Structure 1
Amino acid sequence: MDYIKPPQLIEDVANTGAYKSTLSIKDLLIKGILSGAFLGFATTLAFTAAIDTKLSIVGAFVFPAGFVFILLLGLELVTGNFAMLPLAKIRGLTSTWNVIYNFFWAFLGNLLGSILYGVLFYIAATKLGHLTDGPMIEKIITVAEGKTLAYKSMGGEGIILSVTKAVLCNWMVTLGAFMAFVSSSTIGKIAAMWLPVFLFFAHGFEHAVVNMFLIPTAMLMGAHISFGDWWLWNQIPVTIGNFIGGFVFTGLALHLVYKKRKKDSISQTASAEGLETRG
C-alpha cells in the first residue's frame, strides 16, 4: 500500500515546510520563476481547451497539469507555501523570520516567472503585436478585466468579494499541495493533487500567481487596466485572501486535528501497554 496516513502526511508537510524555509535566495528565485511560468502555461492551456471545446469545465480539468509539474519537481509556489511554512512554524521546526523570508522571495520569483511567460506568450499570440484580436486575446482580456475592473466598479464590496474568492481558492490549492504527500507513488500523487486544483479553477476563484500572469498579459494585449487596478483591486487583496485560506483552512486546521489524534494515539498505546503489564 502506498497510502500515507494523515498524521504522517502532516508531519511530512511540516518537515518540507521547514526545509523550504532554509533555501538560498538563488534557489527560491529560480524555483519561483519556474513555478510562475508553469502556471502561466497551465492557464493558457486551460483557455485553449475551453475555447476549442466551448466547455470551460474542460479547461478546468487540464489546468492542474502545471500544478503537477511544480509539486513533482519540488519548486516554490508561494500560495502553497502559505500553508506549509506556517505549519512548520507552529510545530517549532522553523522561525517566523524564515517563513517571511521564503514568502518574499518565492512571491518575487513567481511574479518574475509569470511576467516572463506573459511576455513570451504575448509575442507568440499576437505575432509580435501585429495581431490585436482573436479568441485567445479576447478571452485573456475579458477574464482579466473581470478580475480587476469588475471589482473596482463595486468599491469596497469588490475587495470583500476578491478576498473571499481568494480564500476559497487557496483552501483548495493548499489542499492539493498537501494531497501530494498522501501517496508514495507518482501516479497516486498526481491523482490526489489533481482534484482540489481542478475544483478551484472550475469555480473561477482567485489565485495570486495565476493573476500575476493573466493581468499583466492582458495589459500588454490592450486591456484597459492600470497598474493600480491590478494591484489594488486584485493582486494585494487576492494575496491576502490566499494566505488566509491556506493558513487557516488547511495548515492550521489539519495541524489541530492531527496534533490531537497523535496525542490520543500515544495515550491509547500507553494504556494498552499498561493493561498488558497488569494482565
Structure 2
Amino acid sequence: MAKTAEDAAYAKATGRPLKSFLLGLTAGGYIALGFVFFTTSQVGAADLPYGVAKVLGGVVFATGLVLVVLTGAELFTSSTLTLTARASGRITWGQLLRNWGVVYVANFLGALTIVALVYLGGTWRNADGGWGAVVLTTSLSKVSHGFLEAFVLGVLCNLMVCLAIWAAYSGRTTTDKIFAVTMPIALFVAAGFEHSVANMFMVPLGLLIKTTAGADFWSGAGLVEGDYAGLTVEAFLADNLLPVTLGNIVGGGVMIGVLYWTIFHHVDGAKQAPERGGKGVASGAGF
C-alpha cells in the first residue's frame, strides 16, 4: 500500500498539467455533488437526534469521494500525499507545488461549476427554501471558526480523507474501495471537520443565496437576513479557506503521507539495509 501510494503520488506530480487540471475539475465537481447530497439529507433532519442526522449526512456525502476514487479524479486534499514522493527524492519541490496549484485551482472551478448549476436550477428553493436554509446555516458556521480552530479542523479532516485514500489502495474490487472510503469520510463530516474543497462549493453557494435571494425566500424559509451578516467573501477566504487548506496539508501530507513514508520506507529500509548488503535507502532520498 505504501509503495502504491508513493507511485500514485509520483505519477500525479510528473504527469501533464492539463491532465491534472481536467481531472481536478471533475474532482471538485464530485465533492460538490457529495455536498448536494449532504444538504438534501439535512432538510428536516432537525427532528432527528443530533448524532443520527450528522451520521446520515456523513454517509451520503461520502458519495463524492467514492466517485473521485473510482474515476481516478485528482483532489487537492488527497494530492497532499505527493509529499511521500518528495520525501523519497523522486520529485522536486517545484513539481509538487505545481501539481498542488493546478489541482487546487481546478477543484475550485469544478466546485463553482456545480454552484452555478444548482443555483440556476433552483435547487436552493426546494422545500419552501429549506434546502437553501441548510446551505446558509452550514456556510455561516464554517466562517465562524477562529483561525486556529479552522486550522485544526482542517488537520482532522484530511487525516480521515487521506486514511480513506490509503485504505482504498488495499481494495481489489469496486466494493472494497467503496467500503474503505465511506466510513472515514462519514466520520469527518459527522464530526464537523473542515474540507477545503467541499467548502469551495458550500460557502460560495451560501454567499450567492444570501446576496440574491428575495424577501419571499427569507420569509418562506423562516430566516432573518440580518442573522447572516457574518457570511462574507472576506470571512470565507481569511477565516475558513486559508486556515482549512493549511490544516489539510498538515493532516494529510505530513501526518499521514510523511508518517507512513517514515514507517515503511525509511525505518523499514534502514532495518533491511544489512540484508541488502548495506545499500539501504537510495542516496539522495529525503526532503
- TM value normalised by structure 2: 0.82
1:200 partnered with 2:206: no
Map 1:50-69 to 2 at 5 A.
50-51=42-43, 53=45, 54=48, 55-69=53-67
In structure 1, what is the equivalent of residue 239 of structure 2?
233
1:180 partnered with 2:168: yes
Shift, 1:125, TM fit: 3.1
Instruction: Report how many residues are paired.
Output: 252
In the superposition, relative to structure 1, how do residues 131 and 177 fare at CA in structure 2: closer, same or farther (>3 Å)? closer
Distance 1:35 1:144 in 2: 21
Shift, 1:266, TM fit: 6.2
> Which sits farther off after the overlay, 47-56 or 117-126?
47-56
SS of 2:14 mapped into structure 1: coil
Distance 1:263 1:12 in 2: 20
Map 1:134-173 to 2 at 5 A.
134-148=129-143, 150-151=144-145, 158-173=146-161
In structure 1, what is the equivalent of residue 208 of structure 2?
220
Shift, 1:26, TM fit: 1.8
**1:144 is matched by which residue type in structure 2?**
S
Shift, 1:199, TM fit: 1.1
**1:106 is matched by which residue type in structure 2?**
V
Shift, 1:213, TM fit: 0.3
In structure 1, what is the equivalent of residue 75 of structure 2?
77
Q: Deviations over 1:81-101 (max 9, x none)?
A: 112x11011112211110000
SS of 2:169 mapped into structure 1: coil
8 Å contact kept, 1:132–1:221: no
1:249 partnered with 2:249: no
Distance 2:276 2:187 in 1: 39
In the superposition, relative to structure 1, how do residues 168 and 187 fare at CA in structure 2: closer, same or farther (>3 Å)? same
In the superposition, relative to structure 1, how do residues 133 and 163 fare at CA in structure 2: closer, same or farther (>3 Å)? farther
Distance 1:145 1:62 in 2: 21
**2:77 is matched by which residue type in structure 1?**
T
In structure 2, what is the equivalent of residue 49 of structure 1?
41
**2:184 is matched by which residue type in structure 1?**
P
**1:109 is matched by which residue type in structure 2?**
A
Distance 1:248 1:138 in 2: 36
In structure 2, what is the equivalent of residue 277 of structure 1?
none
8 Å contact kept, 1:50–1:57: no
Shift, 1:23, TM fit: 2.3
**Structure 1 runs not aligned, ≥5 long:** 1-8, 152-157, 271-279
SS of 2:10 mapped into structure 1: helix
In structure 2, what is the equivalent of residue 125 of structure 1?
122
**2:141 is matched by which residue type in structure 1?**
G
Shift, 1:56, TM fit: 2.4
8 Å contact kept, 1:126–1:132: no
Cα RMSD of the aligned pairs, angstroms, is 2.0
In structure 2, what is the equivalent of residue 20 of structure 1?
12
1:264 partnered with 2:271: yes
SS of 1:21 mapped into structure 2: helix
SS of 1:184 mapped into structure 2: coil
**1:78 is matched by which residue type in structure 2?**
F
> Which sits farther off after the overlay, 189-198 or 13-22?
189-198
In the superposition, relative to structure 1, how do residues 269 and 52 fare at CA in structure 2: closer, same or farther (>3 Å)? farther
Distance 2:196 2:93 in 1: 22
- TM value normalised by structure 1: 0.85
Shift, 1:190, TM fit: 1.6
Distance 1:268 1:199 in 2: 41
8 Å contact kept, 2:54–2:191: no
**1:63 is matched by which residue type in structure 2?**
F
